[in-house]
Every structure is written in C-alpha cells, then in structure tokens.
C-alpha cells in the first residue's frame, strides 16, 4: 500500500466507529496515506458510542490530516486531487440510498461522485439495520454498478437485526490492494 492515497469515508453508524478506526490503523500500518472524510452526521454527532470530538481527534492523529467534512472540501477529490481508492465504511442506509440515486449533498457522497469520475474503485462497508428492508434495493442497484465493490456483509446475530460489515479491517485492506492492482477480488 506504500505510496497509495486512500480516501476513508465514515457515515453515521456510530456503533461501528471503533472498527473503522481499526481499519484506518491497518491501512496506515500497510503504508497507505489516508485522506479522512466524514458525513455531517459522523462529524458532528455525540452518541452513547463516544463524542464526535473524541473520534475526530483520534482520526486526525492517526492520519495526520484534517478531516474532509464539507462538500467544498470533498469536491477536489476527483481529477484535481485524485485518490487511488475510496473506502466508505461504515456506510449507512441513508448514504447507500443517496449513492444509489445520485444524491450528493454530503462530503461522503460528493467525494464518491468526484472520485468515480477518475474511473477508480469505491469500496463500501455496509452497516445498517434495514439492509433486508428499505436498503435492499439500494444495495442491489449499487452491486450492479461498475467500480463499486462491497466488503462482505452478514446478519449481525448478536443484535438480531443489523447487517454490518464484518472482519472490516482485513477486508478493507485486502479490498483496496486488490482493486488498486485491478483484480476483482470481492465483487463476484
Ligand atoms: C446512535 C446512532 C446509531 C446509528 N446507527 C446507524 C447504523 O448503524 N446504520 C445506519 O444506517 N444508520 C444509523 N444511524 C442513523 C444515521 O446516523 C442517520 O440516518 C444519519 O442521517 C446518517 O447520515 P449519513 O449517512 O450522512 O452519515 C444511527 C444514528 C444514531 C443516533
């Protein structure tokens, strides 16, 4: 991953933030440069899973960069400031719906739109409790889209209601590497 610039975008699935930090740490350890991106919800919401200040500070410290969190900051992440790959993990049901339907009103969705102009991969780690409900059609749409890849997802047995990415850290890392070298590793 040395010399690769990976956009790492986080949406408002706060219960998976600590796993997302693990994925960022794994990508950094593998040598990648990380451009952190957060949706408004992810950037500014305090929840029982931790304060937004705590997560923002941790991400700034791990990546050595300011967090892209406005559409103005995200817009250059296309031809102007290209990324090698863009990871969106956790990706909420809300952001899935926007991505599937061409809505680009957050830093994450605009980063994806800008990045796809460069014909480079977007890797999505879904985390939502309506993956078999309202989000199912959006996952289906995105599965069939070129250059969009999914981290393997599974029913969250513990909660009995969520579908979330699992084994996030190794899968994101392997996914980024595979797609950068042009092989279709995750998407069948
Ligand atoms: C504590 C808490 C946990 C949440 N967890 C999830 C989640 O795991 N998956 C999800 O799709 N939405 C979850 N949400 C709802 C999203 O944060 C909400 O839909 C938000 O508008 C998403 O915006 P974004 O997609 O731009 O980040 C959660 C909200 C709260 C307050």
Taking only the tens place, the pLDDT of each residue in 34-52 is: 999 999 999 999 999 999 9
**pLDDT of 173 strictly over 70:** no
**pLDDT of 159 strictly over 80:** no
Q: How confident is the model at residue 176 (pLDDT cuts 50, 70, 90)?
A: low
Taking only the tens place, the pLDDT of each residue in 86-122 is: 999 999 999 999 999 999 999 999 999 999 999 999 9
pLDDT at 165: 54
The secondary structure of residue 50, as a DSSP letter, is: B
Helix or strand (DSSP H, E) at 170: helix 168-180
Please identify which residue in the block is written with the tokens 């991505």. 99
* Pick from 5-14, 84-93, 144-153, 177-186: least confident: 177-186
List the domain boundaries for the chain: 5-180
- Look at the domain 5-180 and name its fold: Rossmann fold (3.40.50)
Burial level of 106, CB count in 10 A (0-12/13-18/19+)?
A: buried
The secondary structure of residue 16, as a DSSP letter, is: G
10 Cβ closer than 6 Å to some ligand 1 atom = no
Q: Which of 88, 128, 126 is nearest to 110 (CA)?
A: 88
pTM of the predicted model as reported, rounded to 2 decimal places: 0.89
**Whose C-alpha lies nearest to ligand 1, atom 31?**
47
Question: 14 C-alpha vs ligand 1 centroid, how far in Å?
Answer: 7
Atom from ligand 1 closest to the CA of residue 48: 1
Q: Quick one: average pLDDT of 128-132?
A: 80
For a mutational test of ligand 1's pocket, the pick from 13, 100, 133, 136, i.e. the residue with the most ligand atoms closer than 8 A to its C-beta, is: 13
pLDDT at 82: 96
Q: Quick one: average pLDDT of 165-180?
A: 55
Contact 40/106 with Cβ under 8 angstroms?
yes
Buried/exposed code over 114-127 (b: 16+ C-beta within 10 A; e: otherwise):
bbbeeebbbbbbbb
Per DSSP bridges, beta strands 85-91 and 122-128 are: parallel
Interhelix angle 136-143/93-101, nearest 10 degrees: 50
Question: 40 C-alpha vs ligand 1 centroid, how far in Å?
Answer: 11
Question: 33 C-alpha vs ligand 1 centroid, how far in Å?
Answer: 27
Lookup: tokens for 28:
């950094």
Lookup: tokens for 46:
């305090």
Atom from ligand 1 closest to the CA of residue 108: 26
pLDDT at 151: 83
pLDDT at 133: 80
Provide the mean pLDDT of the chain.
86
Atom from ligand 1 closest to the CA of residue 106: 26
Atom from ligand 1 closest to the CA of residue 42: 27
Contact 165/96 with Cβ under 8 angstroms?
no
Lookup: tokens for 88:
């969106």
Question: 182 C-alpha vs ligand 1 centroid, how far in Å?
Answer: 32
């Amino acid at each position: 991953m040395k010399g690769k610039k990976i956009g790492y975008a986080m949406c408002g699935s706060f219960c998976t933030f600590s796993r997302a930090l693990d994925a960022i740490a794994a990508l950094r350890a593998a040598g990648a440069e990380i451009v952190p991106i957060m949706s408004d919800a992810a950037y500014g919401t305090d929840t029982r899973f931790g304060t937004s200040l705590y997560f923002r500070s941790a991400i700034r410290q791990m990546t050595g960069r300011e967090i892209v969190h406005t559409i103005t900051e995200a817009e250059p992440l296309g031809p102007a400031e290209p990324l090698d790959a863009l990871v969106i993990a956790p990706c909420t049901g809300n952001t899935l719906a926007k991505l599937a339907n061409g809505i680009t009103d957050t830093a994450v969705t605009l980063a994806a739109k800008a990045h796809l102009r460069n014909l480079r991969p977007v890797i999505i780690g879904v985390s939502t409790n309506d993956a078999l409900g309202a989000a199912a059609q959006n996952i289906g749409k995105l599965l069939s889209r070129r250059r969009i890849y999914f981290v393997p997802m599974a029913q969250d047995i513990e909660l009995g209601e969520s579908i979330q990415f699992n084994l996030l850290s190794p899968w994101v890392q392997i996914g980024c590497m595979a797609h950068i070298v042009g092989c279709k590793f995750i998407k069948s």
